[in-house]
Homo-oligomer: A and B are copies of this chain.
Amino acid sequence: MTKPFAFILNATDGAARLGELQTPHGAVRTPAFMPVGTAGTVKAMFTDHVRAAGTDILLGNTYHLMLRPGAERVARLGGLHKFMNWDEPILTDSGGFQVMSLAKLRTMSEAGVVFQSHIDGSRHEMSPERSIEIQSLLGSDIQMQLDECVALPASRDETERAMELSLRWAERSRVAFKRLAGPGQAMFGIVQGGTELDLRVRSAEALTAMDCEGYSIGGLAVGEPQAIMLEMIGATVPRLPAAKPRYLMGVGTPQDILLAVERGIDMFDCVMPTRAGRHGLAYTWDGKLNMKNAVHADDLRPLDAASSAPPARDYSRAYLHHLVRSGEYLAGMLLTWNNVAFYQDLMSGIRAAIELRRFQEFKAETLARFERSDQD
């Protein structure tokens, strides 16, 4: 019998939290970083390397999967886990963010969004109910409500309208989820409100009343200054129930993650490590390296001799430079793997530091190390 979804808090250090999610596909150690598996694959990685790098949970994109290969098809094929050969937890987004950023000819209404596919121009409808239905067809362990994320900067009126709409969509999502959810699955509500502190608070409180399994903070890391993002997180987290997991959507840099964990965030997702890997960038404890740079052409050192990750340990920087310059598949394969492993090593370091009640020292040391290398 599948256990119910649960969040177990094992330790705290200031506002930083060490915990564990229990899902139908296993446990997730938090703070957790979710690599993005947009179209049923973490781009340029085999799932066994994703797992071995320390990944407990992936993010799948509802928008991409509903268009290709289609949610009903994935369901017929046994669900997203089986489809992509990943028998660990999956969180899916609602599709709303990508509809707004990728789809064509969007028409918003109280009911939902009508849009055209960016792939073939086909017409689709997305409502709170359909989003949850798609996520149920995919079989994701953690599902997101449909929300409206306004582009920043936005007027207060526009921000408030979108936040209120998102709350009504949360209610409808919740009803659909309770009807469709499988055993142990979870649905998270999404706090909106742009950069308006009082709207963020109102959104958080209204969602808390809906008793979701967890809460996301959306609409941040979309171009606003880091200080504003941190202010919004700081104002929102205390209004969310302490016993529920908190997920900061689309974040972010290693620095962002450290500062958000410090403010009580438990979960993250971001395309940075994977996208950077396909663009010749390598994350290391001494900062981000552009492997295309000629400075690496004769460098026999690996990215990180102390790493347990093969791409960081078994190949010279000179070789990685050569692969990037030559436009080889293996460049994207090795650098993506390195970057996902780096992010998971960072999360592992964060979790160990919280457990030892030395998160502040770990944060300061790590930020200082990144900063020193940025000045090189």
Contact = CB atoms under 8 A, between A and B. Distances in A.
Contact of A83 (B39, B44, B68, B318): B318
Contacts of A40: 319, 322-323, 326
A43 interface: yes
20 contacts: A39-B328, A40-B319, A40-B322, A40-B326, A41-B330, A43-B329, A43-B330, A44-B329, A44-B333, A45-B330, A68-B322, A68-B325, A69-B297, A69-B321, A73-B297, A77-B300, A83-B316, A83-B318, A83-B322, A85-B319
A198 to B, nearest CB: 43
Q: How many copies does the complex hold?
A: 2
Contacts of A319: 40, 77, 83-85
Interface SS of chain A: helix, strand, loop or mixed? loop
Contacts of A41: 323, 328-330
B328 A46 contact: no
Nearest to A45: B330
B297 A85 contact: no
A278 B85 CA distance: 21
Contacts of A329: 41, 43-44, 278, 329, 332-333
Contacts of A39: 322, 326, 328
Interface residues of A, number: 35
A371 interface: no
Given A326-B39, A330-B43, A69 B314 contact: no
A370 interface: no
A315 B44 contact: no
Contact of A69 (B44, B84, B322, B332): B322
A305 to B, nearest CB: 14
Nearest to A42: B330
A376 to B, nearest CB: 23
Contact of A298 (B76, B314, B322): B76
B330 A44 contact: yes
Given A43-B330, A330-B43, A78 B300 contact: yes
A46 B45 CA distance: 11
Contact of A314 (B85, B322, B325): B85
A326 B68 contact: yes
Contacts of A332: 329
A44 B330 CA distance: 5
Contacts of A44: 329-330, 333
B298 A77 contact: yes
Nearest to A322: B69
| 10 pairs of A and B residues whose beta carbons are closest in the complex | A44-B329, A41-B330, A69-B322, A39-B326, A41-B328, A77-B318, A85-B314, A83-B319, A43-B329, A85-B315
Contacts of A278: 329
Contact of A328 (B43, B73, B297, B323): B43
A73 B317 CA distance: 13
Given A41-B329, A68-B325, 14 more contacts: A39-B326, A40-B322, A41-B323, A44-B329, A44-B333, A46-B333, A69-B325, A73-B318, A77-B298, A78-B300, A83-B316, A83-B319, A83-B322, A278-B329
A316 B79 CA distance: 12
Nearest to A331: B41
In this complex, the member of A39, A45, A326 whose beta carbon has the largest number of chain B beta carbons within 10 angstroms is A326
Nearest to A73: B298
Contacts of A298: 73, 76-77
